[in-house]
Amino acid sequence: MVEPAFLLELGGVVVGLALLARIAARYRLPASPLFLLAGLAFGEGGVFPLLTAEEFIELGAEVGVILLLFMLGLEYSASELTSGLKRHAPAGVVDLALNFTPGLVAALLLGWGPVAAVFLGGITYISSSGIVARLLDDMGWLGNRETPVVISILVIEDLVMAGYLSVIAVLVSGVGAAEGVLTLAVALTAVIALLIVAQRWGHLVSDALFHRSDQTLVLTIVGITFLVAGLSELVGISAAVGAFLVGLMLSGPAAERAHDLLGPMRDLFAAIFFVFFGLSIDPGTIPPILGVAVLLGILTAATKVLTGWWSARREGVRTRGRFRAGVALVARGEFSIAIAGIGTAGGVEPELASLAGAYVLLMAVAGPLAAKVVDPVVRATQARTAARRPPRRDEQGTRDRRQLPRHRG
């Protein structure tokens, strides 16, 4: 028999999240930072500590990570992943070098050790696909020339993340060097094998899993996803990576119905996931680390802007579009929190959760705000620069007018 106190607590949390989601929607901001703040309020040392619902929320958070990665896999096909990797590999390398390094170095400067440094590097590296996708839509940038560049970088980050999660799963497993290398080799081999299966026979898998009954389809896909996630954990791959590969394998009607049917479930458990991460942080531990989070945020916002600017420039995008591509990538969110959650559960570094929580809060808010001001700022800068230039000759002006851009970017 379920205790009334449990239902009251759980219902109160979910209703509170619904109110926060409405506030975020009202101001066209991502809701995840507010969910994190709610978790801080409900956790130990917070304003309203939970008494009975915390265990359920912990389980829901694990389900949330699996569903997040599964739904992300649905967004791509294996062929899209491989073709995007080939075309935009240089941009992916620049992204990795510029945005993984600051976290890695910051952790070493804090005296955290190499394992924690790898975790913090991953936290600063990956942009939030969910926030970026919503940002592109809200800002009306989906048809811009720089948008394919942004999406390609996100795809490469997701592909890198599949291998990265396998690496950190081995790092926190506590095995020796030789056993760790063997486990990692097995994990990466399994990931590559599943990618090959997804690319060559994914359509056959999709046809086999599809069913006209929504209930049957949901039970089949959720069951398969959790089975693969569990098997992935057994061979040393993160459960989230296993879920991502299942999503990647689905295509056609099976993927479309799964997206529609599981989207609301993903939203519910993803919100619980952010709350649970907030629960794991003692609010009193954030102020001492807040200065580091701010400095790291400023540095990695600049490196993301540089990444997007450089990548868009390679594709011939003009100045304003280059800066749009950069600010679109600034937001960090669900994946940074997932990495921090794995590190916290593995006992990597006591301050990792606090720093990651404060950092993601800052970046999840800074990304959308930067997107709102980037166009006016670039326009004003270009106008000031043009006003300082000496007048051009008529024939030069005629040639310049013929070269007006054809695209918004």
Report the length, in residues, of the chain. Answer: 409
Q: Say if residue 80's pLDDT is above 50.
A: yes
Q: Say if residue 400's pLDDT is above 50.
A: no
Least reliable range by pLDDT among 44-48, 50-54, 345-349? 44-48
Taking only the tens place, the pLDDT of each residue in 99-120 is 999 999 999 999 998 999 999 9
Taking only the tens place, the pLDDT of each residue in 15-37 is 988 999 899 888 877 777 788 78
Q: Say if residue 395's pLDDT is above 50.
A: no
CA distance 380 to 338: 39
Taking only the tens place, the pLDDT of each residue in 120-148 is 999 999 988 767 876 776 777 877 888 87
> CB of 48 within 8 A of CB of 42?
yes
CA distance 151 to 25: 23
Which pLDDT belongs to residue 408? 41
Amino acid at 345: A
- 300 exposed, middle or buried (CB, 10 Å; 0-12, 13-18, 19+)? buried
Task: Report DSSP state, residue 393.
Answer: P
Q: Report percent pLDDT > 70 for the chain.
A: 87
Q: Say if residue 174's pLDDT is above 60.
A: yes
Least reliable range by pLDDT among 76-80, 194-198, 335-339, 341-345? 76-80
Which pLDDT belongs to residue 405? 44
Angle between helices 147-171 and 129-138 (to 10 degrees): 170
Tokens 């056609």 identify what position? Answer: 252
Which pLDDT belongs to residue 367? 85
Which pLDDT belongs to residue 118? 94
Stretch 157-174: mean pLDDT, rounded?
77
CA distance 154 to 125: 11
Q: What SS3 state is found at 294?
A: helix
Stretch 391-409: mean pLDDT, rounded?
48
> Which residues lie closer than 8 Å to 294 by C-beta, 6 or more apart?
362
Q: Say if residue 275's pLDDT is above 90.
A: no
Mean model confidence pLDDT for the chain: 82
Task: Report DSSP state, residue 49.
Answer: -
Taking only the tens place, the pLDDT of each residue in 234-265 is 776 667 778 878 887 888 888 889 989 998 88
Of 89 and 173, more confident: 89
Taking only the tens place, the pLDDT of each residue in 279-329 is 777 778 788 889 999 999 999 999 999 999 999 999 889 999 999 999 999
CA distance 141 to 61: 32
pLDDT bracket for residue 409 (50, 70, 90): very low
Which pLDDT belongs to residue 402? 43
Tokens of 198: 């997804």
Which pLDDT belongs to residue 304? 95
What is the pTM for the complete model shown? 0.72
> CB of 251 within 8 A of CB of 203?
yes
Q: Which long-range contacts (CB under 8 A, 24 or more apart) does 376-381 make?
A: 378/319, 378/320, 378/323, 379/320
Question: Cα–Cα distances in Å, from 17 out to 22, 176, 304, 350?
Answer: 9, 42, 30, 27
CA distance 123 to 351: 14
Q: Say if residue 354's pLDDT is above 70.
A: yes
pLDDT bracket for residue 213 (50, 70, 90): very high
Phi and psi at residue 213, to the nearest 5°: -75, 125
